[in-house]
Amino acid sequence: MPSGSPGPLDGLKVLDLSRFIAGPICAQILADFGAEVVKVERPGGEDARHHEPYYEGESVYTMLYNRNKHGATLDTRHPEALAVLEDLVRWADVVVENYRPGTVERMGLGYERMVELKPDVVLVSISGYGQTGPLSQRALFDAISQASSGLMSVAGEADGKPTLTGTYIADYVTGYQAAIGAFAAIAHRKATGEGQRVDVASLDSMFATLGTRLIAHLMLDLDMPRSGSRDLLTAPVNVYPALDGDVYVQAGTNGLFPKLCRAIGREDLLEVPEYRTVAGRMADQEPLERAVAEWAEHRSCAEIGAVLGDAGIPCAKVATVPEVAASPQIAARDMVVDVEHPELGRLRLPGNPVKMDKSPPTTRKAPPTVGEDNDYVYRELLGRSAEELARLRDGGAV
């Protein structure tokens, strides 16, 4: 499907009242699949607009989460803002917001009021702790979610401090979960004509990622400790220094371990009875890792990859961001896309990871600058006159 062609959500109208990451990612996913999305932010731009680094005077932070959107400004505290917001809700099929619970209600635009304005509206509410529960009113950012969810406690070396993941993983996952909820609510509305509120919490999203550690606690009362770069369940699995970098080797299953021993010339390890089972290898990981490390330290990452790859053993150089961005595999998957902005020129952005044969996501519009599309949104979509828009602008409402 060529860039600019309709997607599966063509005709869907989305009002994006969110900021930072989780909400904007949710709305951007809908936009990638063809929805028309209007992003509303205050006249000076949302706080994230002021985060470094900058490209041509614009924060690249906000470029990550706002492609394919129309950018409009509105001071939601202005006396005339509520009437404008209500018009936008009447226009929209889906509203995305990530304020603290109760904020949209205090703005005079809670879910009940939205239903009065648009009976079948889908409201996607993204928050730190959810719309209910004793912590619902607390503020939360990504790092707090990683800490409070248990994720940080399991990240890092076994004898070190808990660590962050190195990216805004809580915001990303929460945004993806919100998009899933939005898709489901859209499908429900198509089938029944009913809208609904989608309530997605960052804490819930991170709690759901704890995987084996969580179920081991819930069902076996086990508290599995941090394991650093080792695999939680099999061995030997770890990162090993090579001549020109580090390589991660995953050879912990009963099928892979014999292949590893033969590939590195350590068939003698196959004669150790304890090493024939996962449990036995997990109980004695250090000698196994030492054998792999002694083999790897005299070889380049490419040589290690060739030998182990030919043996069918999953392995990879621990790539830097510049290395992976230049990868032929990333290029083949269209995971870096170029889009032209009328003022900023060519922007290079991450592609959408979802690939589809019939209705793939597309990049049709560069992330907007602050208020870039005010004329289109207020005049063409809402039908306001040029004189009225000028009055709202002069009065500080937009």
Q: How high is the mean pLDDT of the chain?
A: 96
Determine the straight-line distance between the first and last CA of the chain, rounded to whole angstroms. Answer: 36
Task: For residue 1, name the pLDDT band (cuts at 50, 70, 90).
Answer: very low
Same domain, 80 and 181: yes
Q: Among 323, 352, 367, give the residue marking a domain's end.
A: 323
Token pair, residue 152, equals: 């940080």
Q: Annotated catalytic sites, by residue?
A: 171
One domain for residues 297 and 312: yes
- 302 in the same domain as 350: no
* Percent of residues, the chain, with pLDDT higher than 70: 99
Do 107 and 255 fall within a single domain? no
Residues 64 and 81 in one domain: yes
pLDDT given for residue 2 in this prediction: 37
> What is the domain extent for residue 74?
13-209+329-394
Distance CA(68)–CA(367), nearest Å, equals: 6
Residue 166 included in any domain:
yes
Say if residues 275 and 288 touch (Cβ distance below 8 Å).
yes
Query: Is residue 368 domain-shared with residue 263, that is, in the same domain?
Result: no
In a domain, 218, yes or no: no
Mean pLDDT of all residues in 313-324: 98
Are residues 263 and 174 part of one domain?
Answer: no
Question: 6: pLDDT confidence band, cut at 50, 70 and 90?
Answer: confident
5: confidence class by pLDDT, cuts 50, 70, 90 = low
Whether 53 and 143 map to the same domain: the answer is yes
Please report, for the domain that includes residue 142, its CATH number.
3.40.50.10540
How far, in Å, CA of 177 to CA of 189, rounded?
18
pLDDT tens per residue across span 60-72: 999 999 999 999 9
Paired with 143 in beta bridges are: none
Domain boundary among 280, 297, 323: 323
Q: What is the mean pLDDT of residues 193-214?
A: 98
Residue 175 has pLDDT above 60, yes or no: yes
Domain match, 136 and 23 both: yes
Question: Are residue 356 and residue 383 in the same domain, yes or no?
Answer: yes
- Domain shared by 282 and 201, yes or no: no
Last residue of a domain, one of 323, 357, 384: 323
Task: CATH number of the domain at 250, please.
Answer: 3.30.1540.10
**Structural domain includes residue 142:** yes
pLDDT for residue 312 = 98
Domain count, the chain: 2
Alpha carbon distance 123, 363 (integer Å): 25
